């Protein structure tokens, strides 16, 4: 299996795990603390935002050949905004699917180019999903 095929497979694996996790969440689970002011809902909203953002970055790259820069000041504002997101799980699944489609749709030349540079995280979404899914699973015990 090539590196690209491995990344596509791992993205799909973690999208599947995310979907299974979200399907099993109750309203009480969504309010469970993950520490440092984070809840399951804020973690899912954080994940959703960044995955939608990465999908948009890949879509733009496919159209223009230019990647967007990350704005690290977004997380603190997003954490506050996420407190009221009742649909965080459903949106997280939608975002995961959209990002996976964007990564899979890159031209065969563009995908290795992105993976070779500092923006490989745009395609390797499984790593971010894995972090937050594990965090939520630990909190749910």
pLDDT in tens, 91-110: 888 888 888 888 888 777 78
Q: Measured between alpha carbons, how far is 94 from 134 in angstroms, rounded to an integer?
A: 19
What rounded mean pLDDT belongs to the chain? Answer: 84
Q: Measured between alpha carbons, how far is 111 from 131 in angstroms, rounded to an integer?
A: 23
pLDDT in tens, 105-135: 877 778 888 888 888 888 888 888 899 999 9
The pLDDT value recorded for residue 80 is 62
101, 24 Cβ separation under 8 angstroms:
no
Half-sphere exposure of 34 (CA within 13 A, CB side): 20
Contacts of 36 (CB under 8 A, 6+ apart): none
Give me the domains of the chain, ranges plus CATH numbers.
Answer: 3-140 (1.20.120.450)
Tokens of 139: 């909190």
The pLDDT value recorded for residue 40 is 92
Q: pTM (2 decimals)?
A: 0.60
């Amino acid at each position: 299996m090539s590196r690209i095929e491995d990344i596509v497979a791992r993205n799909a694996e973690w999208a599947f795990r995310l979907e299974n996790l979200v399907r099993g969440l109750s309203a009480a689970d969504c309010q469970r603390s993950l520490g440092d002011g984070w809840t399951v809902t804020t973690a899912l909203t954080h994940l959703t935002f960044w995955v939608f953002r990465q999908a948009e970055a890949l879509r733009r790259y496919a159209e223009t050949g230019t990647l967007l820069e990350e704005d690290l000041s977004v997380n603190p504002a997003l954490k506050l905004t996420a407190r009221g997101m009742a649909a965080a799980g459903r949106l997280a699944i939608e975002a995961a699917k959209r990002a996976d489609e964007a990564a899979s749709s890159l031209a065969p030349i563009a995908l290795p180019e992105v993976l070779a540079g500092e923006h490989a995280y745009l395609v390797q979404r499984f790593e971010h999903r894995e972090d937050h899914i594990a965090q939520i699973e630990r909190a749910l015990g």
